[in-house]
Each structure stands twice: as C-alpha cells, then as structure tokens.
Amino acid sequence: MNKKIRKPQLLTRRRFLGGMAGAAVLMTASHASALPTLQFRWIAEGVYLHISWFSSSHGVVSSNGLVIVGRDRLLFVDTPCSMAQTEEMLGRILDYEDKRLVITHAHDDRMAGLPVMQARGISSLAHQTTVAAAVERQQGTIDEAWSGETHVLNIGGRKVDLFYPGPAHTSDNTVVYIEDCALLYGACLVRALDRTNLGGLGSADVCHWPQAIRTLQQRYSHARIVVPGHGEPGNLGLLSHTLALAEAEGARLNCGGTSPSP
C-alpha cells in the first residue's frame, strides 16, 4: 500500500516552535558543555533566526542565519557554525521536504554545515565569487552559482533578493532581502550596535567597505529589520553604525591615499 504524501503547508509560528520544543538535542555532551544550545527566534512572519555558537580568542561568539518559510518550500540562509549544530537544526524542522540553502560568503560561520545539508539532499546556492572562494579554501563545493549584481528567488510566493554590494567584510559578501517583510540580512558585512569595531579583517577590503554600506542604504532604504551576522538585529541604524566603523577604520589605514596632517 502506498503511503500518502502530505502536501506541505505554511509553517505557522506555533507549529514551528512546537516542533522545536519536542526535538532531541543532537550535540555531544562535550560540545554542549562548551557552547550554548542552538536557538531559533521568530523575527518576522515566516522568518526565523537560527543562532549558533563558536569559540574564538574572544570567547564564545553567537552567529546568525535565517530560515525563510514559503507556501511550499523553505530557504536556509547560511548554516550554523558546525556540522553538529546543523544536524540539530535540521532535526528540529520536520514539516518541509522542499528545502534549499543560500550561502552569503565563504567563511566557516556561514557554511560549516554544508556537508550535512548536501547529505540530506538540500541544494546550495551562492554568488560565483563565493563558489570559487569555497573551493580555493577547501571549504566544500557549492552546488549552484549566480552571477552579476542581483539574483531573485521565489520561495513559495515570497520574493527574496540576493544582492552583491561589492567587497567589504570579504571580496564575495552578499546580502539577502525579503520583500514582503522588508527584512535585510546583511550577514557579516553589517555590525550589531554593540560592536565597536569591524571584527575580523583577515579577508576584508576595508577601503571599499563604506561604499558597500552606502549602496545598501540606497537600495534598501525601506528596510524595517536589519540582521547582522553576529549579535542583535535592529533597524537601518545598523547600517549607519557599520558605516561609521568602516570609515573610522579606513581613516586609520589611510584609505584616502594621503598622509594625515602633522
């Protein structure tokens, strides 16, 4: 007898959170003792933050990603910071068979869980510069590439805009904008209000960072919610805050090409 296939439906906040509450934690005991448990947070209709954690020289750091729910499909934006936390995330989302992943840039806090996603049959997409950078850094092979400045996805009737504003945090950093809730996900290109510097600059193009932010301010001037790669979401003030940090760091590095006055 053939099993009846249940047609996916819009995942409401109650159903999503209810599924989470009954989920088993998949992290090992040693990992769980070092890092907080993966979290989900509702931030807009059909949009959730997934918050994972990693250890650094500055202590334990949180990292944001998104889960965007449409009528008949679900889009992950970036993976959690480890394969264990990605396994946990997928184990706590049970209602959708049609899932896809977008990666905003080729750093571990954006794509460490890629092998887990691929093992579950979830296809991945990123800008062509991110695809190339991931291969060069031996971080994995992303399934599909998009090119140019912008790429639009239809996630179950929801318009999701992928945009490349130019180099900043990395040469390949992209952002994601959800039109119906005016939510801009800036990933690590955007800094939270409590951050007093630009963070790790190992892959950064500080001199072009201010222009990337100005491009976002112009293109997404109607955004109501802005999500940074790390820390608390906010509003368009996060772009102004990041711009000030980038300009200050650019001045320190003499990005204008002239020596400071004596």
d(CA 85, CA 105) in angstroms, rounded, equals: 19
Q: Is the pLDDT of residue 105 over 90?
A: yes
Full-model pTM: 0.87
Domains and CATH numbers, the chain: 13-252 (3.60.15.10)
At residue 250, the pLDDT reads 96
Indicate the range of 5-9, 155-159, 186-190 predicted with least confidence: 5-9
Q: Which strand (E) or helix (H) includes residue 16? A: helix 13-21
Indicate the range of 30-34, 172-176, 186-190 predicted with least confidence: 30-34
Name which residue leads in pLDDT, 25 or 112: 112
Tokens for 190? Answer: 């955007």
Mean of pLDDT over the chain: 86
Tokens for 260? Answer: 């400071």
pLDDT single digits (tens) 241-253: 999 999 999 999 9
Q: Is the pLDDT of residue 2 over 80?
A: no
Q: Which residue(s) pair with 184 in the sheet?
A: 177, 226
Name which residue leads in pLDDT, 22 or 116: 116
Tokens for 109? Answer: 């806090």
At residue 10, the pLDDT reads 39
d(CA 211, CA 207) in angstroms, rounded, equals: 8
At residue 20, the pLDDT reads 42
Q: Is the pLDDT of residue 41 over 50?
A: yes
**Mean per-residue pLDDT for 106-118?**
94
d(CA 25, CA 152) in angstroms, rounded, equals: 35
Name which residue leads in pLDDT, 210 or 71: 210
What is the end-to-end Cα distance of the chain in Å, rounded? Answer: 85
pLDDT single digits (tens) 214-233: 999 999 999 999 999 999 99
